[in-house]
Amino acid sequence: MNRKGGTPREVAVPVSVFAALRTELAKEAGTLPTVHALHHAGYHAGTAAAAVLSGNGESAPAALGRDAFWGKLADFFGKRGWGTMRHDLTHSAVGILSSTDWAEAGDGDADPDASCFFSTGFLSGLLSELAGGPVAVLEVGCRTRGESACRFAFGSEAAIHNLYGRLLDGVDLDGALAAL
């Protein structure tokens, strides 16, 4: 919630909250509703977080150069305990954010499916708000699945939809990006 006229309030919670939310929501509602609920909640939290990122008296994120913007975003997440984030521009239509210590994929979590549903929504909401238009985000790698990093592809809705379709067809990420 926003305070009148101010930036949103922030609180710190243990990282274990992500696994607890996933588990309890899945027990109550099922897997797909859990994914949707966490994604939507993350999106709304991300749009609110844009005000925090923009409201600290420094240069507005949109006014920064590319390297400064991604550095500021990485600093934002790192200072809040989300993890170390790196930006890779691997394709002209799709960027990749990656982290080898992303909080939502907590240490000890193990699942054959990706688990960063809240983060995917959060990043979409945050980037959409900062860009002034829709930015779609797709989790394309997850430490919960035993991968070395959580990876989030982002871009236009059409580009991410196309990427997702290729991944569903069994094409690996590099191949799917090359085919875009």
pLDDT at 36: 95
**Residue 6 placed within a domain:** no
Number of domains in the chain: 1
**Residue 173 placed within a domain:** yes
Beta pairing, strands 86-88 & 136-141: unpaired
pLDDT digits (tens, 9 = 90+) for 103-119: 998 666 677 777 899 99
> Domain holding 74: CATH number?
3.30.1380.20
pLDDT digits (tens, 9 = 90+) for 137-174: 999 999 988 889 999 999 999 999 999 999 999 999 99
Contact 136, 155 (CB under 8 A): yes
Domain that holds residue 48: 16-179
| Residues 40, 109: Cα–Cα separation, whole Å | 22
Indicate the pLDDT class of residue 1, thresholds 50, 70 and 90.
very low
**Residue 9 placed within a domain:** no
pLDDT digits (tens, 9 = 90+) for 64-114: 788 888 999 999 999 999 999 999 877 889 999 999 999 998 666 677 777
**Residue 8 placed within a domain:** no
Beta strands in the chain (DSSP E): 86-88, 94-99, 136-141, 150-155
